[in-house]
């Protein structure tokens, strides 16, 4: 049944979630929340290379087709994720044998095929994801090894060439706790500007926790906004189990701290990013049962605004607090 207040209605900018098409087709509660609450959708996994391009001569659009159709039905913006990453690289690429020209062709073909497939049905796309390590230099990856350090810039050029109407993003994590990563992202924007490399926006993933200081979050948002590019808080979640315990009981203090942290992040975004640069905020899936975190940390956590049954948590109210007060 319809609800009186939703995130998409309360927000002055696109408010989104990363979605899993398998849940969308199998779980009614998930689908209903996805429809009602969000004005933007990101493909959590199904536009990653290993899923969408499982063999050199084969692309699989099954998962992404579900998401794109859903977004269109519900008048939601669709954001693509991600053309180039050091993870989710399929085995055929890891095992690929070829000279630098063959690697370049593989790289360019992948980028251009995927970004051109849906044309402007996708508003924006994370072209390169997480290219930097903690020290702010390019991290080891199959792309760096075979294509050299300027692969990041070439990815954006190839993407723009194939799909000029899609907004191109560089997406990265850790800006709020790693000054070197933050500096690297800001420097990338300045370097692209100087060299005329096409880029439209920066994604701050914001996988964070209740212990992260608001000041550091504000500083990251402000510095990224100062580039003049669009700013997307692209993968928001807020962990509460800081000691990463396997069995963890959520306390009332956690619920309140999580509410306040969501509110502080949304408020910082709303006030520190100029309107014209607000690409929006996206949470990394919907409910606590859908989050990537328990798998990743082998621990229990409750990082999202909805619980496992898709009931609104205090964290949800925190987002509304940030949007409205
Ligand atoms: O679907 C299969 C299932 O059939 C199989 O039984 C199971 C066994 O491992 O794996 C399932 O696939 C997993 C998939 O998540 C769906 O849950 C993959 O192994 C697992 O690697 C994949 O993890 C994703 C991860 O990226 C790696 O691609 C997470 O869902 C996703 O949330 C996470 O997202 C990343 C962003 O792309 C970039 N920023 C960080 C963020 C968190 O790591």
Q: Which residues contact 52 (CB under 8 A, 6 or more apart)?
A: 46, 59, 60, 61, 63, 64, 114
Q: What is the pLDDT of residue 140?
A: 97
Classify the complex by whether its ipTM is higher than 0.90, answering yes or no: yes
Is the beta carbon of 69 within 6 A of some atom in ligand 1?
A: no
Measured from the Cα of 129, ligand 1's closest atom is 38
Q: What is the pLDDT of residue 90?
A: 98
Half-sphere exposure at residue 95, Cβ-oriented, CA atoms within 13 angstroms: 6
Q: What is the pLDDT of residue 174?
A: 98
Is the overall model pTM greater than 0.95, yes or no? yes
First CA to last CA distance, the chain: 27
Q: Which of 25, 45, 169 to mutate to test the pocket of ligand 1 (most atoms within 8 A of CB)?
A: 45
SS (H, E, C) 160-195: HHHCCCCEEEEEECCCCCCHHHHHHHHHHHHHHHHH
Name the residue among 104, 129, 144 with its Cα closest to residue 47. 129
Q: What is the pLDDT of residue 261?
A: 98
Is the beta carbon of 44 within 6 A of some atom in ligand 1?
A: yes
CA–centroid distance, residue 44 to ligand 1 (Å): 8
Q: Which of 20, 292, 293 to mutate to test the pocket of ligand 1 (most atoms within 8 A of CB)?
A: 292
Residue 237: phi, psi to the nearest 5? Answer: -155, 155
Measured from the Cα of 205, ligand 1's closest atom is 39
SS (H, E, C) 4-33: CCCHHHHCCCCEEEEECHHHHHHCHHHHHH
**How far apart are the C-alpha atoms of 28 and 144, rounded to whole Å?**
42
Question: Which residue puts its alpha carbon closest to atom 21 of ligand 1?
Answer: 88
Q: Is 233 helix (H, G, I), strand (E, B) or coil?
A: strand
CA–centroid distance, residue 27 to ligand 1 (Å): 19
Is the beta carbon of 87 within 6 A of some atom in ligand 1?
A: yes
Name the residue among 104, 120, 213, 210 with its Cα closest to residue 167. 120
CA–centroid distance, residue 275 to ligand 1 (Å): 33
Domains identified in the chain and CATH numbers: 7-324 (3.20.20.80)
**How far apart are the C-alpha atoms of 54 and 58, rounded to whole Å?**
6
Q: What is the pLDDT of residue 62?
A: 98
Check if the beta carbon of residue 76 is closer than 8 Å to that of residue 106.
no
Q: What is the pLDDT of residue 4?
A: 86
Q: What is the pLDDT of residue 3?
A: 78
Question: Which residue puts its alpha carbon closest to atom 9 of ligand 1?
Answer: 295
Is the beta carbon of 205 within 6 A of some atom in ligand 1?
A: yes
pLDDT tens, per residue, the chain with 325 residues: 567 899 999 999 999 999 999 999 999 999 999 999 999 999 999 999 999 999 999 999 999 999 999 999 999 999 999 999 999 999 999 999 999 999 999 999 999 999 999 999 999 999 999 999 999 999 999 999 999 999 999 999 999 999 999 999 999 999 999 999 999 999 999 999 999 999 999 999 999 999 999 999 999 999 999 999 999 999 999 999 999 999 999 999 999 999 999 999 999 999 999 999 999 999 999 999 999 999 999 999 999 999 999 999 999 999 999 999 8
Is the beta carbon of 254 within 6 A of some atom in ligand 1?
A: no
The residues assigned a catalytic role are 235
């Amino acid at each position: 049944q319809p609800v009186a207040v939703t995130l998409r209605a309360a927000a002055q900018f696109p408010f989104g979630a990363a979605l899993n098409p398998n849940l969308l087709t199998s779980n009614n509660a998930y689908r209903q929340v996805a429809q009602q609450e969000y004005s933007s959708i990101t493909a959590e996994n199904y536009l990653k290379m290993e899923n969408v391009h499982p063999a050199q001569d084969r692309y699989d659009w099954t998962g992404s087709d579900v998401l794109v159709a859903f977004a269109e039905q519900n008048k939601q913006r669709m954001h693509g994720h991600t053309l180039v990453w050091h993870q989710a690289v399929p085995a055929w690429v890891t095992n690929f044998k070829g000279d630098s020209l063959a690697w370049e062709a593989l790289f360019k073909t992948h980028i251009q095929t995927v970004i051109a497939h849906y044309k402007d049905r996708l508003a924006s796309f994370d072209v390169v994801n997480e290219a930097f390590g903690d020290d702010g230099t390019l991290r080891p990856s199959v792309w760096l090894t075979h294509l050299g350090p300027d692969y990041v810039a070439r990815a954006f050029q190839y993407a723009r060439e194939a799909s000029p109407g899609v907004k191109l993003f560089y997406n990265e994590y850790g800006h709020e706790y790693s000054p070197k990563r933050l500096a690297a992202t800001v420097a990338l924007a300045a370097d692209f500007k100087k060299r005329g490399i096409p880029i439209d926006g920066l994604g701050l993933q914001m996988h964070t926790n209740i212990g992260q200081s608001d000041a550091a979050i504000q500083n990251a948002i402000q510095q990224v906004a100062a580039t003049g590019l669009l700013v997307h808080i692209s993968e928001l979640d807020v962990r509460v189990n800081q000691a990463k315990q396997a069995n963890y009981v959520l306390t009332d203090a956690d619920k309140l701290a999580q509410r306040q942290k969501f509110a502080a992040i949304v408020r910082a975004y709303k006030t520190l990013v100029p309107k014209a640069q607000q690409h929006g905020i996206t949470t990394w899936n919907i409910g606590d049962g859908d989050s990537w975190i328990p798998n990743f940390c082998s621990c229990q956590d409750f990082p999202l605004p909805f619980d496992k049954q898709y009931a609104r948590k205090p964290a949800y109210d925190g987002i509304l607090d940030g949007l409205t007060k």
